[in-house]
Chain A
């Protein structure tokens, strides 16, 4: 059993540790070291991304240590909490002492301490001390906040000091750290961070939160009246500008153009210009041309609305819009997709690329026109994969070539009783001995014996499979993107469509910002005081008798001792020049 004295000593040790600068250095250097980790591992990415990047073992390890969101991990926050406790206890420990020094009515001056100063200035004046005393005291009173004149032994001392309060500067810095952390905590608890897209002309009254899929009502409505983007000559974006109206009770209460560095602020909620995009068009003009008669008609259509065509041609619906559409290795650009239901017969899906109004899927020239137009363009990685693939099987034994069509996952019989074949996947980019050789169909042959073999069939190299030296050489002949079944008779094109933008806004509310900003100001002022000002104490001792006075000018400061030395030189020079 410990006795009371031991317990007290123990508490004392803990308190001293929590107030110690040693702990500060340990915590600060740990914060610096651990923060590095979060810059080496990208933060807050999707789990499967991490899984692929680091593999299973590291993934589990990192995830267990919360390294994927480490700045919000409990152990990182705990380090910050220790820092705050350290600051608070250190301040409680030291401020009373500083308070005494700063508020004392009659500061103590120890003459011996000033006499001992190695760099004190000495000089002699051919005047009696009493003659100097008044003059010096007046000069000192003008330059120091506090002074008093005292007789010590045979000499007269003028003591002065200034900048006592600067001793508080460092506590300002420390307090500002606490303020900023408090502000960020307020933001975390009472604020939110979200996102909203507003199409031109439309109104929203809620934003989607960034963490999770919840929607956050704003308490008012916002309409995007207009969005504009302008570019420099080199194509770099110059300005994004959204005109927003805030609407409350059906009345516009505020209207503002926002640009990237100039958000809209209303009732504690901020809206920042953050992104933009094009809306899928909802109105268009469609032209129908009957190939036989050459007759052509233009119809105003709406997305998803069925229109009845003249001359018993049936009905038509514009179903979809894609900002880019792949077709036989070419990009068709902005493309509408529609469905034509002839009066008699099965519905036909049609693609209507806006840049190629004459496009007819059954006319080989159409494709060539597209090809010529985009001769050098590469396929983009976001393209849709083909639905049906036509393969050719060439038998080694008979020399016969067979054509078979299949879609991914569909099992087909290999001719001449060689077993079955399944297309397992289509790779956008297949690497052969380290070289990318473009798209490839990957399939699996299953022999009658049950033996399996995987084959890769690069689309661009029809002889590739010869290398396998198998019974059948397989090659890909047609690599068809989604395309209509046989149609004919009608060319459909979109002549014009409504173009509309949406503006993407970051929506935030952070009631802690004011506290954080207050912390910023206190920190800047506090560090100025801490670094560039000091508590300076000066003693001017006048000794001697009769006509000559020996003068000692000596000073101390709590900081920047070298600077104080210079100041004392300056002061003694000044005093000697006084008349």
Chain B
């Protein structure tokens, strides 16, 4: 069984898990919730197995590189990390609601990787510039960071929904954790994400310095990851200002995650020459 095959099954299991989580949340039922968690754990385990198998396959093909070298591989890793963070938050909060928001996101990420026609799931040999251990550290830490921000984004969305539903008396109260808790986990996750994005940018700089003789070159991809980082640094400081807790932080966290998405997908549409494969 090939890793691509396993990962397409995993995509399906994530979808099932997402449906169950949402059903459990809307109908406030326990059984679909339990099933949803099991599905998510199984999917995450399969996701991890798929990545390991792909690693092994690359050695069997004589290329032997870690599976973090192209968009497909990074998206697959991304889904795994979001799934793990989601599970951890779920256990820490003792509430399954968060899964109803994270699993659709995970499903989107991995489905885009598996189904998008212009995405190659072939294992490709590494061009010279990508042959570096710094690259592995760089990709892993960046995606840990982005995953932290993704779940923070989810918590911020939940925060906004929660505060709107409590402000609006006519509406049925929506079943969500308290806004204090949501604000707190947003902060926790932003710190987690910021820590790993910091390491991600730093390892990227060290890698660039070893490959090109410069640690920073202001190319669009680098710049966008810095923009993302600066937005979250702004968020961490804005929290310290009076009147900035809560809603505005939730909005900044959403803006920050949009920057993450743009860093990831949008940069390729910008004018300019950047591609990490361009050398020499």
Binding site for B on A (CB under 8 A): 21-22, 24-25, 28-29, 31-32, 35-36, 38-43, 71, 184, 193, 232, 234, 236-240, 259-263, 270, 272-276, 504, 506-508, 510, 513, 516-517, 520, 523-524, 527-528, 531-532, 560-562
> Cβ of B206 and Cβ of A520 under 8 Å apart?
yes
User: Of the candidates B202, B227, B273, which one forms a contact with A520 in the assembled complex, judged by CB atoms under 8 Å apart?
Assistant: B202
Q: Considering the chains assembled together, what is the distance between the CA atoms of A210 and B198 in angstroms?
A: 30
Closest-by-CB residue of B relative to A69 is: B218
> Cβ of A273 and Cβ of B280 under 8 Å apart?
yes
Q: Considering the chains assembled together, what is the distance between the CA atoms of A270 and B212 in angstroms?
A: 10
Indicate whether B194 reaches chain A with its CB closer than 8 angstroms: yes
B125 to chain A: which residues have CB within 8 Å? Answer: 232, 234, 236, 238
> A38-B218, A40-B270 known; A270 and B213 CB under 8 Å?
yes
User: Of the candidates A22, A36, A193, A531, which one forms a contact with B213 in the assembled complex, judged by CB atoms under 8 Å apart?
Assistant: A193
Q: Shortest distance in angstroms between B178's beta carbon and chain A's nearest beta carbon?
A: 12
Q: Considering the chains assembled together, what is the distance between the CA atoms of A154 and B62 in angstroms?
A: 76
Q: Considering the chains assembled together, what is the distance between the CA atoms of A162 and B178 in angstroms?
A: 31
> Cβ of B216 and Cβ of A184 under 8 Å apart?
yes
Name the residue among A240, A261, A531 with the largest chain B CB count within 10 angstroms: A261
Indicate whether B220 reaches chain A with its CB closer than 8 angstroms: yes
Q: A36-B227, A276-B280, A527-B195 are in contact. List 15 more A-B contacts (CB 8 A).
A: A29-B234, A35-B226, A39-B270, A40-B271, A236-B124, A260-B128, A260-B129, A260-B279, A273-B280, A508-B213, A510-B214, A516-B215, A524-B202, A531-B191, A562-B184
Q: Considering the chains assembled together, what is the distance between the CA atoms of A79 and B205 in angstroms?
A: 22
Q: Considering the chains assembled together, what is the distance between the CA atoms of A130 and B95 in angstroms?
A: 42
Write the B196-208 contact mask toward A (1 if CB under 8 angstroms, else 0): 0011001001110
> Cβ of A261 and Cβ of B210 under 8 Å apart?
yes
> Cβ of A25 and Cβ of B241 under 8 Å apart?
yes
> Cβ of A274 and Cβ of B212 under 8 Å apart?
yes
Closest-by-CB residue of A relative to B209 is: A513
User: Of the candidates B181, B215, B230, B271, which one forms a contact with A31 in the assembled complex, judged by CB atoms under 8 Å apart?
Assistant: B230
> Cβ of A43 and Cβ of B218 under 8 Å apart?
yes
Q: Considering the chains assembled together, what is the distance between the CA atoms of A236 and B125 in angstroms?
A: 8
Q: Shortest distance in angstroms between A40's beta carbon and chain B's nearest beta carbon?
A: 7
Indicate whether B127 reaches chain A with its CB closer than 8 angstroms: yes
> Cβ of A263 and Cβ of B210 under 8 Å apart?
yes
User: Of the candidates B124, B199, B280, which one forms a contact with A275 in the assembled complex, judged by CB atoms under 8 Å apart?
Assistant: B280
> Cβ of A35 and Cβ of B271 under 8 Å apart?
no
Indicate whether B157 reaches chain A with its CB closer than 8 angstroms: no
B181 to chain A: which residues have CB within 8 Å? Answer: 562
Q: Total interface residues on B, using CB and 8 Å? A: 50
> Cβ of A39 and Cβ of B194 under 8 Å apart?
no
Name the residue among A270, A507, A531 with the largest chain B CB count within 10 angstroms: A531
Q: Shortest distance in angstroms between A229's beta carbon and chain B's nearest beta carbon?
A: 9
Q: Shortest distance in angstroms between B32's beta carbon and chain A's nearest beta carbon?
A: 28
Q: Considering the chains assembled together, what is the distance between the CA atoms of A542 and B252 in angstroms?
A: 46
Q: Shortest distance in angstroms between B179's beta carbon and chain A's nearest beta carbon?
A: 14
B117 to chain A: which residues have CB within 8 Å? Answer: none
A43 to chain B: which residues have CB within 8 Å? Answer: 218, 272
Write the B265-280 contact mask toward A (1 if CB under 8 angstroms, else 0): 0010011110000011
Closest-by-CB residue of A relative to B270 is: A39
> Cβ of A32 and Cβ of B211 under 8 Å apart?
no
Write the B112-145 contact mask toward A (1 if CB under 8 angstroms, else 0): 0000000000001101110110000000000000
Q: Shortest distance in angstroms between A54's beta carbon and chain B's nearest beta carbon?
A: 11
> A28-B230, A232-B125, A237-B128 known; A272 and B212 CB under 8 Å?
yes
A273 to chain B: which residues have CB within 8 Å? Answer: 128, 280
> Cβ of B226 and Cβ of A259 under 8 Å apart?
no
User: Of the candidates B129, B198, B234, which one forms a contact with A523 in the assembled complex, judged by CB atoms under 8 Å apart?
Assistant: B198
6 shortest interchain CB distances as A-B pairs = A260-B128, A275-B280, A508-B213, A28-B234, A39-B220, A531-B191
> Cβ of A35 and Cβ of B223 under 8 Å apart?
yes
Closest-by-CB residue of B relative to A509 is: B213
User: Of the candidates A259, A270, A517, which one forms a contact with B128 in the assembled complex, judged by CB atoms under 8 Å apart?
Assistant: A259
> Cβ of A272 and Cβ of B224 under 8 Å apart?
no
Q: Considering the chains assembled together, what is the distance between the CA atoms of A520 and B199 in angstroms?
A: 8
Q: Shortest distance in angstroms between B51's beta carbon and chain A's nearest beta carbon?
A: 23
A237 to chain B: which residues have CB within 8 Å? Answer: 127-128
Closest-by-CB residue of B relative to A526 is: B198
Closest-by-CB residue of B relative to A71 is: B218
> Cβ of A29 and Cβ of B231 under 8 Å apart?
yes
B216 to chain A: which residues have CB within 8 Å? Answer: 184
Indicate whether B1 reaches chain A with its CB closer than 8 angstroms: no
A520 to chain B: which residues have CB within 8 Å? Answer: 202, 205-206
> Cβ of B224 and Cβ of A21 under 8 Å apart?
no
Q: 27 A-B Cβ contacts within 8 A? A: A21-B237, A25-B234, A25-B237, A28-B230, A28-B234, A29-B234, A31-B230, A35-B227, A39-B223, A42-B271, A42-B273, A43-B218, A184-B216, A240-B280, A259-B128, A260-B128, A260-B279, A261-B129, A270-B213, A273-B128, A274-B212, A506-B212, A506-B213, A523-B202, A524-B199, A524-B202, A528-B195
